[in-house]
Amino acid sequence: MKMPHNNDSRGRMYTDKRGVATRDQILRQAIRLFAERGYEAASIRHIAHDAGVNYAAINYHFRSKRQLYLTAVAHVLDRGRKRADTLLSPHDGRQSCKSLARWFDNCLMDGRTRNIEHELVIRGLLEDSEVRQLVQDRLLSPLVERLSTIVVEIYPEQSAREAASMATAIIACCMCASYQRLLWNQKHRSTWEKSPIRVMFRALVSG
């Protein structure tokens, strides 16, 4: 027996997919413009124009400019945490060193999208207390916990407090390196391999 089509269900599915695509496009352009111009200078009008949508679409999906901004930052932070979760999987001491080095190098990968994400977070840390709290809750606290476990895998004699301190130092090192990487011109890429911050990090993880 031939089943009738549920036109209403198919229509909703199509609408939902189109809505998700619109939301993702708005978010991509918001991340780029907030990173390039900062929160105050990046207007909803500019974001709507670059996303190819009208002003009402942004209000529908994000309610306000402030909510769009915080959603954009949270999206970038969640991507960073997921990358860390993948790269910092549990290992023995020797493999932990390698996974830690891979994570550090991944944080500093060159590329337009990654650079934009880093710039958005750095701007937020400098300019916005709410972003600082987001960074703490969604990225730094989980990362300190995960890295502390890695440190103990590498140095079993470390106490929990010492491991947390070393994990915090590694994150600070990575953040400084990310900022330095943003400031450097492409022609300095080869020099980056001898960056003091990169050397310092290697010393931390290799003992």
Higher-confidence residue: 123 or 192? Answer: 123
* Residue 125, burial from CB neighbour count under 10 angstroms (0-12, 13-18, 19+): middle
Checking if the pLDDT of 51 tops 90, the result is yes
Place of tokens 């679409």: 57
pLDDT (tens digit per residue) in 131-173: 999 999 999 999 999 999 888 888 899 999 999 999 998 888 8
Higher-confidence residue: 207 or 77? Answer: 77
pLDDT (tens digit per residue) in 81-111: 998 888 887 655 568 888 888 888 888 776 7
Checking if the pLDDT of 58 tops 90, the result is yes
Look at the alpha carbons of 15, 61, 34, 117 in this order and tell me if their dihedral is positive or negative: negative
pTM attached to this predicted model: 0.78
Question: Does residue 102 contact residue 166 with C-beta atoms inside 8 Å?
Answer: no
- Give the amino acid at 147: L
CA distances (Å), 72 to each of 34, 39, 57, 98, 116, in order?
9, 11, 16, 31, 12
